[in-house]
Amino acid sequence: MPDFAFKLKTTDGAARRGVVSTAWGEVETPVFMPVGTAATVKGMMPESVRATGASIILANTYHLMLRPGAERVGRLGGVRRLMGWDGPLLTDSGGFQVMSLGPLRKLDEDGVTFKSHLDGSQHRLTPERSTEIQHLLDATITMAFDECTPFPATEAMAAESMRLSMRWAKRSRAAFVPRKGYGQFGIVQGSVYRDLRAESVAALEDIDFEGYAIGGLAVGEGQQAMFETLDFTTPMMRPDKPRYLMGVGKPSDLVGGVARGVDMFDCVLPTRSGRTGQGFTRRGPVNIKNARHAEDMRPLDEACACPACSRFSRAYLHHLFKADEVQGLMLLTWHNLHYYQDLMAAMRAAIEQGRFAAFEAEFHATQSLGDIEPV
C-alpha cells in the first residue's frame, strides 16, 4: 500500500499539474471531486460516477453522523464499502454545515452543540469527535474541524474565528490516527484579510498536515473577491502539498482557481443543477426546460461523449423534465459531471503542454458565445 503523497509534476505560471497517491488509488490534479453528501452522488450509480472520469468523491460528516450514524457506517465497513465506491474518499468535517444552522447551534471553545435539522435532536461536535467520525467513515482524506467564518465579517471577527479554528486544528491533528495511504488536511481561514490568511497558513504549517485546504470562500463574497484572496493566499502555501479550495464551484471558478495554483475542488453545483434542468456546456449553461428546446434534435453539447449527449436530443431531455421523469435529472446530472471532468482533463493537458494561459483565454471566449438557436 503506497504512502499518502503529493508529487508536483510540472507548473505553467501558477497552474500546477500533480498527482496525489493514496491507499485507494492515485488522483491526478487539478481535480474536481463530485459530492456524495449522504454516501451517494445523487442520481448516479458509483460506476456511472467513475465513467465520467471522476477519481475521488466527497462525503459529509454532518449528514452521515445524523443518518445512518457514524458508528453504524463504521460497523458496515465505512462509506466506500457501504456505497460501492472503489476509489479515494474525502470527508468534510461538518464545520460548514454547522455554521449554516445559525440559531440552531451554540459554539464554545471546546466545540459546537447543535440541533439536528432532521428531528431537532441535540448533538455535539468537537475536533476530536469530528476526527473520530471521519475515521469511522474510513475517509481517505480527513478534514480538520474548523469554524467556517461567515461573510461578511469584520477583521476582528475573522481573526477570532480563524484563531479558534487553528486551536481546533491542533486538536484535530492530535486525534487523527495515522494509517499508510491516508491523510489529513488543515484548513486555512481568515476571510478576505491578507494578514489573517498568512497567520493561518503559518499556524497550519507548524502543525504539519498532509495537505491544506482554503476555507471560508464561496460563502457570498463573490468571484472577484474570492480570486483576489486566492491571489495572495496560494503563494503563501507550501508547494509540496496539495491545495484544496472547498465548495467551489462554477466552471469559471475552477479555471480561475487552477490559474491561481489550486489543485482540488468540490461543489454540489453540477449535480444540483442537473436535477433542476441546467446543463453546463462548452458554450455556457443551458436551461433544458426552455420551450425552444422542445423540437431541437441537436445534442446538448456536440463535443460531449456522455450518454445524454451521445444518445439523446435536447428535445428528449426537454420532454423528460416537462414530464417530471426521473431519467431526465439522471441524464443531465451525468452530463454535468462528465463536462466537469472533461474540463479538468483539458486543464491538466494544457498545463503539461505549457499553454494554460491560451486555454484560459479560449475557455472564456467560447463560454461568452452562448448557446446557438437551432436553424
Point out the residues that are catalytic. 92, 266
**Which residues have C-beta within 8 Å of that of residue 310, sequence separation ≥ 6?**
299, 304
Strands (E), 251-366: 264-266, 278-281, 284-287
Strands (E), 144-298: 183-188, 211-214, 243-245, 264-266, 278-281, 284-287
DSSP states along 46-89? HHHHHHTT---EEEEHHHHHHTT-HHHHHHTT-HHHHHT--S-E
Q: At 177, is the secondary structure helix, strand, or coil?
A: coil
Angle ∠(135,137,141) on CA atoms, nearest 5:
65
**Which residues have C-beta within 8 Å of that of residue 337, sequence separation ≥ 6?**
34, 41, 44, 49, 52, 54, 270, 271, 274
**Percentages of the chain per state (helix, strand, coil), in multiples of 5:** 45, 20, 35
Q: Enter the C-alpha cell of residue 275.
A: 436535477
In terms of Cα–Cα distance, which of 221, 275, 276, 277 is closest to 249?
221
Q: Do 251 and 4 contact (CB within 8 A), yes or no? A: no
Backbone φ and ψ of 39, nearest 5°: 65, 35
Q: Do 49 and 85 contact (CB within 8 A), yes or no? A: yes
DSSP state of 304: -
d(CA 366, CA 232): 28
Residues in the chain: 375
DSSP state of 144: P
d(CA 313, CA 295): 9
d(CA 175, CA 212): 17
